[in-house]
Amino acid sequence: MSGQVSAPSSGLTGPFVLPRRPKSPLRTFRTKLTAMYAGTAVAMLLIIGVGVTVSVFRAFGDYWMISLPAVRDQATGMMNAQLEKGRSLHEAALYTSAHLGRPNYFIDVFDSNANAVFSGANQLHMSNLERLVGEKLSAPARFERSVVPLQGGFVEIIPNYFTLTDVLGVMLLRMFLFSLLAIAIGYMLATLIAGYATQPLRNFSRNLSLLAEGEYAVQPTNNDLPEEIRTLNAVYNKAAASVVNAVADRERAAEKLRSYVSEAGHELKTPITIISGYLDVLASGLVTAPEDVHRVVSKALGETQRMTDTVLKLNALARLDREEEEAGTFDAAALARDVTETMNSLASNNLYFEAMENEDLLVCGNQREIRGAVVNVVENALKYAPRSRIEVRVISHCAEVMIEVTDDGPGMAADDCDHAFERFYRGASHGDVEGSGLGLAIAKRAVERAHGRITLTSERGRGTAVRFYLPRPVSES
């Protein structure tokens, strides 16, 4: 929507407050979404760490497998050279270990009875636990020991597991530090992304809270939103508009009821006051002559009849303001003719009817209500133009049928014409003519319920014309 629709919050008896559960950081969708993003990042880092560790094992294993023949030949040559010089296995092993120049390997030397003569691991102060861990670590990398026979024994070339653990430890430490940095940055980005993704939902939540508290502003649609959120936004706007219209209708209905009650009370107050005055006169004994008593009673009965007519018309208006009754199809000419014939005696035979012959004058609406409308307009003409010629015509008018009631009476002022259909309105020139000011209001409401329209034209000294325009039945073809 491109604008706002609002209605005063006074239409409700009190704000409805949604119950709120205690806020928990783990219950908000934004926090859960952020945790999901961060958890995904941590899982990916763990997978990367495991992959890098396995790759390092493989790389060291491949390196040791490739360089092992050269190391073996170099160590064997140095051991044999020392043995040819008459040195013992232990002395040759010490010399070879010190001058081999291969930090990624160490040697173990055994005599012909497989007794340990020299251990490179002991030279590196490697404990049994470290050896065990090293052997376990070396298994996936396919590290192999190389055994070479010597004069009086044999030498075993073993990869230096300390090199692997040192490199791997440094690598994992760096990876851990970078992972912490990546997780921190990822968490901040995840918070921003989650905040952006849930912003429309937070807006909806805030707007719904305001709606529940009596703020009936419909928020405009943001076309930059994703399709799903845009659909939700449209649904919200439609619901909010419905609430706005419902509250506005309720406020109008309440205002109409207040005005209706006030005007009805004012209209009924006068006859009740007059009747009460007449009864007081009779009760006080101030009037004793039979003819005077008869005159007072007659006036009281007249006011009673006037009050009864007003109540009946108020009931008719109340009925017209309720849910529409079932409409039907009827002949407007037959209805107007019947009204004319029924009321002609009241018009001293000055009431005339005219309709087009051989013409389809069927209309849609509630026949009883339209008849009441015509009767009220004719009664008005009889009251305000009692000695004039009153004509009722039924004419085909394009897609409508027009019922026209005209008189050549004194007419109405322009200001009176503007307010003629208002309830309880009586023009300044009504004189002593009794009435409630409800006849035209009833006619207007009845015609509107039939989805028609009503107009009034009048001019001082030139009479008045009231026209009903009623819809024809819809053709099924």
Q: Is pLDDT larger for residue 154 or for residue 198?
A: 154
Interval 385-417: pLDDT, tens: 888 888 999 998 888 899 999 998 888 888 888
Question: Tokens 């007659």 correspond to what residue?
Answer: 298
| pLDDT of 347 above 60 | yes
Alpha helices in 147-289 (DSSP H): 161-212, 227-284
Grouping H, G, I as helix, E, B as strand and the rest as coil, residue 435 is coil
- 328 within 8 A of 367, measured Cβ to Cβ: yes
Give residue 130's pLDDT band: very low, low, confident or very high (50, 70, 90): low
Grouping H, G, I as helix, E, B as strand and the rest as coil, residue 223 is coil
The Cα 118–Cα 94 span in angstroms is 8
Per DSSP bridges, beta strands 453-458 and 390-397 are unpaired
The Cα 109–Cα 55 span in angstroms is 32
Interval 266-309: pLDDT, tens: 566 667 777 787 788 777 777 777 887 788 788 778 778 777 77
- 119 within 8 A of 188, measured Cβ to Cβ: no
Query: What domains appear along the chain, each with residue ranges and CATH number?
Result: 17-213 (no CATH), 325-471 (3.30.565.10)
φ/ψ of 158, rounded to 5, equals -125, 135
By C-alpha distance, which of 164, 152, 132 is closest to 63?
A: 164
By C-alpha distance, which of 287, 163, 217 is closest to 9?
A: 217
The torsion region of residue 199 among left (phi > 0), alpha (psi -120 to 50) and beta comes to alpha
**Residue 331: beta bridge partners?**
362
Confidence at residue 137, expressed as pLDDT on a 0 to 100 scale: 54
- 447 within 8 A of 470, measured Cβ to Cβ: yes
Confidence at residue 320, expressed as pLDDT on a 0 to 100 scale: 64
**Residue 354: beta bridge partners?**
393
- 344 within 8 A of 352, measured Cβ to Cβ: no
DSSP code per residue over 373-384: HHHHHHHHHHHH
Grouping H, G, I as helix, E, B as strand and the rest as coil, residue 145 is coil
The Cα 215–Cα 237 span in angstroms is 13
What is the sign, positive or negative, of the torsion defined by CA atoms of 223, 225, 226, 232?
Answer: negative
The Cα 154–Cα 199 span in angstroms is 75
Give residue 11's pLDDT band: very low, low, confident or very high (50, 70, 90): very low
Helix H or strand E encompassing 392: strand 390-397
Helix H or strand E encompassing 130: helix 128-138
| 176-195: average pLDDT | 80
Indicate whether this model's pTM tops 0.85: no
| pLDDT of 110 above 50 | yes
Give residue 142's pLDDT band: very low, low, confident or very high (50, 70, 90): very low
Rg (CA), the chain: 53
Q: Is pLDDT larger for residue 424 or for residue 466?
A: 466
By C-alpha distance, which of 79, 164, 61, 166 is closest to 118?
A: 79
The Cα 15–Cα 68 span in angstroms is 85
The Cα 339–Cα 390 span in angstroms is 13
Q: 254-290 burial by CB neighbour count: b if 16+ within 10 A, else e?
A: eeeeeebeebbeebbeebeebbeebeeebeeeebeee
DSSP one-letter code for 100? -
The Cα 445–Cα 166 span in angstroms is 96
Per DSSP bridges, beta strands 351-355 and 153-159 are unpaired
Percent of residues, the chain, with pLDDT higher than 70: 72
Give residue 431's pLDDT band: very low, low, confident or very high (50, 70, 90): low
Q: Is pLDDT larger for residue 138 or for residue 95?
A: 95
Helix H or strand E encompassing 407: strand 400-407
The Cα 221–Cα 401 span in angstroms is 44
Confidence at residue 4, expressed as pLDDT on a 0 to 100 scale: 40
The Cα 397–Cα 365 span in angstroms is 17
Confidence at residue 323, expressed as pLDDT on a 0 to 100 scale: 60
Confidence at residue 109, expressed as pLDDT on a 0 to 100 scale: 86
Confidence at residue 10, expressed as pLDDT on a 0 to 100 scale: 40
Confidence at residue 470, expressed as pLDDT on a 0 to 100 scale: 92
- 157 within 8 A of 77, measured Cβ to Cβ: no
| 36-43: average pLDDT | 78
Helix H or strand E encompassing 110: strand 105-111
By C-alpha distance, which of 441, 407, 402, 404 is closest to 424?
A: 441
Confidence at residue 141, expressed as pLDDT on a 0 to 100 scale: 45
